[in-house]
Amino acid sequence: MTTFYYYTAVIYAAAATMLILSLIVRRNQVLTQKQKQYYIAACIFVILGGFCEWLAYYLGIFRPEAIGLQTAAKFCEFVLVPGIPLFGSMAITERKLIPKLLAALAAINLLTELVSLFNGMIFFVDAHGIYHHGSLYVIYMAIYIVMCGIMIAAMLLFLRDNRSTSTGIILLVVFFLAIGLTIQSLVSDVRMDYLISAISLTLYYIVFTDVIQSTDSLTGMRNRSSYDTRLSHLEQTVTIFSCDLDAFKLCNDTFGHLYGDKCLRTVGKSFREACPQNATAYRVGGDEFAVIQKGAVDPQLLIRAVEERMEEYRTTDPCLPYLSFGHALFEPGKTSVASVVEEADAMMYEEKARRKADRSKLEAAWGIQLPPDYR
């Protein structure tokens, strides 16, 4: 009896955690509406799955004759659980293949559970109201483990795409989840899988939103707040780049702000594709960008890489503005961050001034005559 009350408290803690997290997600001002819906759905599936397991456990103790109801509760639990990694992954990834793969695995799981209702291959409840694993219970576990692995991979890809340093935290969450489930599998009286799932989902949310809040929503680059924070904590030699779009105000006036947003997205994509692993790109203003690259590097390598990406996109969109670059080396103890940023900005504006003298490319692409003082 004590074990039942203990387990009731565990399920209550898991459900309360997910309810609170759902309310936090709902009030989040950074996530998109779809991201909120998917994350809340994952929370609801934890609550429903936990309730179904609790109900089956309750019936097995207090109503062992209710075999049909206990079987239905376990069936619902086994069908609901794969929805946790399914919706959790859909909240964090834009890759279309991952949700499709997870949905296919969830459908396979549903079919096996339906068959199990008739032959007990995944689970069954005996005549005494006692729940048992079936001979092919491993199929259910394999599907769930694979789905959780895909969710973890989706998060790691998200972190990689956003140049996040939180990969280690996610691996610790995975370790926590694995240890908790291993303990439960070895000690039958310990039932904490839903509490572990609730805590893991909460930690995933914290890491995910931390990255989202430091990312510019339009370009996918890090935002100004992230840039300022990075500058204030520089303790190693880095190369700082300043970059600005030429004639971007005129581009907006000529082609409209929707096209201007498209240009900014293309620039963001070019930077994200061109930057090596030791470099992070930031959008620090309307058409102003920056890159911080570790070490004393050859700045022309990065500049050429970005320009080459822009030229590739310019083959299908010849109206894309050009970029002006500046760069400077920060060495702790020798220079200040402020002076290095000013040096990079000054070089960038000098390049913009030189580019103004060669306006033929833009005039040909845009079909207009640029004013003398265009920026």
pLDDT digits (tens, 9 = 90+) for 287-336: 999 999 999 999 999 999 999 999 999 889 888 888 999 999 999 988 89
Whether 190 shows a pLDDT value over 80: the answer reads no
- Alpha-carbon gap, residue 252 to 2, rounded angstroms: 69
Residue 198 is predicted with a pLDDT of: 95
Q: In this predicted model, which residue has the larger pLDDT, 54 or 352?
A: 54
% of the chain beyond a pLDDT of 90? 67
Query: With bands split at pLDDT 50, 70 and 90, how would you rate the model's confidence at 200?
Result: very high
* Average pLDDT, integer, range 225-251: 91
30-44 pLDDT per residue, tens: 899 999 999 999 999
Mean pLDDT, residues 148-162 taken together: 90
CB-based contact 149:86 (threshold 8 Å)? no
Residue with tokens 């930077």: 271
Nearest to 250 by CA among 362, 361, 162, 342: 362
Neighbouring residues of 319: CB distance < 8 A, sequence distance ≥ 6:
251, 255, 259, 365, 366
Other CB atoms within 10 A of residue 57 CB: 20
Q: At residue 315, what is the residue type? A: T
DSSP state of 367: T
Contact assessment for residue 205 and residue 304, using Cβ atoms and an 8 Å cutoff:
no
**Structural fold of domain 224-366:** Alpha-Beta Plaits (3.30.70)
**What's the CATH number of domain 2-213, 1.10.600, 1.20.1070, 3.40.50, 1.10.730?**
1.20.1070
pLDDT of residue 371: 62
Asked if residue 162 has pLDDT above 90, the reply is no
244-269 average pLDDT score: 89
- Cα–Cα distance, 288 to 227 (Å, whole number): 12
Question: How far is residue 283 from each of residues 165, 184, 267, 306, measured CA to CA in Å?
Answer: 19, 47, 10, 14
Q: Return the pLDDT at 71.
A: 95
The pLDDT of residue 360 is 65
Range 4-8 contact pairs with CB under 8 angstroms and sequence separation of 24 or more: 4/57, 4/58, 4/61, 7/54, 7/57, 7/191, 8/54
When pLDDT is averaged across residues 136-164 and rounded to a whole number, the result is 91
All structural domains of the chain with their residue ranges? 2-213, 224-366
Whole-Å CA distances, 370 to 344, 366, 374: 26, 9, 7
Q: Could you tell me the pTM of the whole model?
A: 0.82
In this structure, the dihedral spanned by the alpha carbons of residues 344, 349, 355 and 356, taken in order and rounded to 10 degrees, is: 180
Please state, as a whole number, how many other Cβ atoms lie within 10 Å of the Cβ of residue 176.
14
